[in-house]
């Protein structure tokens, strides 16, 4: 599929907006411009696309309200600024989205939330539910409690992790620059904008480490690394100027503006590759012949009714292997229940999960999106 057509067909989009844009380079929240971005997101929603907004700006907004003339160096002062600024930031977003009849939700995350598999699954379930209700989730780093995570550019990484989390088609990173250049345009008049490039292209790192490239300044390196993280689940990434007219709508329609960083593999293939090779197994599920056949031939989720035994010390969200009755490897996947819970569910239908465990969780032991057949 041609790239423009691929982008135009994207149904799930993550939009990340940086602090410099939101606060007009530190002058306080740019309420009017925020309204323009919100209107564009609303237009995407009217087209049936799901949108998650990852927004910086809480610390910068709080600094303005607390009277700081420069960014504080003390962690407790940064946390205080974040707490104050987050109130204003979310209030501005909510008021603008209300004008378009859209409901919003505030979600504060730390990187630990997305590296811990149990919290990862909980966060994903929450976001999927919100998107199902037509809500626009607004995500920010939980700067009021994190310590070393507070730094410029960190929300680029958060945006990529959210793209992985919800299996987004596209990550749009809005910044105060046009995109990536082959040289630093401030120092080289012959610098040219890179329109599209593979997210895994080695030239990106060499430009950053060479000293002359724009990637090493202004947080651009974090954006390149974010694109590589997003590519892990098959998402395309756009780095573009948030001051470009209708940039979000134009990008989502497939217009080639800014810099597109493309994954090597499609969404499904990339995620399956990650599941197959990047997580250590914490246990094993022994499947009956019917479950093995269903997985290999039907591409289904793994249900408890087809599991004969569970081994290991795994918890919700851990990677486990699935084997047949003879020990042959069938699949790998992220399990929805702990080993203790799984042992209670062996051979039982999904309809009995609530009664057996005392709460109603996911109907599958492993959802097909979290399962790779070996």
Q: Looking at residue 65, what is its pLDDT?
A: 85
- The answer on whether 155 is annotated among ligand-binding residues is yes
User: Is the predicted pLDDT of residue 35 greater than 60, yes or no?
Assistant: yes
Distance CA 238, CA 230 (A): 11
- The answer on whether 175 is annotated among ligand-binding residues is yes
Same domain? For 262 and 363 the reply is no
- The answer on whether 201 is annotated among ligand-binding residues is no
Same domain? For 288 and 339 the reply is yes
Long-range contacts formed by 117-121: CB under 8 A, 24+ apart: 117/315, 117/316, 117/317, 117/318, 117/319, 117/334, 118/315, 118/316, 118/317, 119/317, 120/165, 120/317, 121/316, 121/317, 121/334, 121/336
Same domain? For 29 and 125 the reply is yes
Same domain? For 190 and 311 the reply is no
Domain ranges, residue 13: 3-271
User: Is the predicted pLDDT of residue 218 greater than 70, yes or no?
Assistant: no
Same domain? For 333 and 254 the reply is no
User: Which of 233, 248, 271 represents a domain boundary (last residue)?
Assistant: 271
Rg (CA), the chain: 22
Compute the average pLDDT of residues 167-195: 84
- The answer on whether 3 is annotated among ligand-binding residues is no
CATH number at residue 194: 3.40.1160.10
User: Looking at the 3D structure of the chain, how many domains does it have?
Assistant: 2
Is 21 or 5 the better-scoring residue by pLDDT? Answer: 21
Is 204 or 208 the better-scoring residue by pLDDT? Answer: 204
Q: What is the pTM of this model?
A: 0.75
pLDDT digits (tens, 9 = 90+) for 344-359: 999 999 999 999 999 8
Compute the average pLDDT of residues 220-236: 85
- The answer on whether 221 is annotated among ligand-binding residues is yes
Q: Looking at residue 231, what is its pLDDT?
A: 87
User: Which of 217, 251, 271 represents a domain boundary (last residue)?
Assistant: 271
Is 184 or 231 the better-scoring residue by pLDDT? Answer: 231
User: Is the predicted pLDDT of residue 245 greater than 80, yes or no?
Assistant: yes
Quote the tokens at residue 359: 């709460």
CATH number at residue 288: 2.30.130.10
- The answer on whether 217 is annotated among ligand-binding residues is yes
Same domain? For 266 and 306 the reply is no
- The answer on whether 49 is annotated among ligand-binding residues is no
User: Which of 271, 296, 316 represents a domain boundary (last residue)?
Assistant: 271
Q: Looking at residue 366, what is its pLDDT?
A: 94
Same domain? For 194 and 81 the reply is yes
């Amino acid at each position: 599929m041609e790239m423009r057509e691929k982008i135009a067909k994207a149904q799930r989009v993550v939009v990340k907006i940086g602090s410099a844009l939101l606060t007009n380079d530190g002058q306080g929240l740019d309420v009017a411009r925020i309204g323009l971005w919100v209107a564009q997101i609303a237009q995407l929603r009217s087209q049936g696309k799901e949108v998650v907004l990852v927004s910086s700006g809480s610390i910068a907004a709080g600094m303005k309200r607390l009277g700081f003339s420069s960014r504080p160096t003390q962690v407790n002062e940064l946390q205080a600024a974040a707490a104050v600024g987050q109130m204003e930031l979310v209030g501005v977003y909510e008021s603008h989205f209300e004008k378009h009849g859209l409901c919003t939700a505030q979600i504060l995350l730390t990187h630990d939330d997305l590296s811990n598999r149990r919290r990862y699954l909980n966060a994903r379930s929450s976001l999927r539910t919100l998107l199902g209700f037509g809500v626009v989730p607004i995500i920010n780093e939980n700067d009021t409690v994190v310590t070393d995570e507070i730094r410029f550019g960190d929300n680029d990484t958060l945006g990529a992790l959210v793209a992985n989390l919800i299996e987004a088609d596209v990550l749009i990173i809005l910044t105060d620059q046009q995109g990536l250049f082959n040289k630093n345009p401030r120092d080289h008049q012959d610098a040219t904008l890179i329109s599209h490039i593979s997210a895994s292209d080695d030239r990106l790192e060499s430009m950053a480490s060479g000293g002359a490239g724009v990637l090493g300044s202004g947080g651009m390196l974090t954006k390149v690394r974010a694109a590589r993280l997003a590519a892990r689940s098959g998402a395309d990434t756009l780095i573009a100027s948030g001051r470009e007219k209708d940039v979000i709508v134009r990008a989502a329609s497939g217009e080639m503006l800014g810099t597109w960083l493309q994954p090597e593999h499609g969404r499904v293939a990339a995620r399956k590759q990650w599941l197959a090779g990047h997580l250590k197994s914490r246990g094993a599920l022994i499947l009956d012949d019917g479950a093995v056949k269903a997985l290999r031939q039907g591409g289904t989720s793994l249900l408890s009714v087809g599991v004969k035994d569970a081994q290991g010390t795994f918890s919700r969200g851990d990677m486990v292997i699935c084997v047949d009755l003879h020990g042959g490897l069938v699949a790998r996947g992220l399990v929805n229940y702990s080993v203790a819970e799984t042992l209670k569910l062996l051979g039982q239908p999904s309809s009995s999960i609530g009664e057996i465990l005392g709460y109603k969780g996911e109907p599958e032991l492993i959802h097909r999106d979290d399962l790779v057949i070996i």
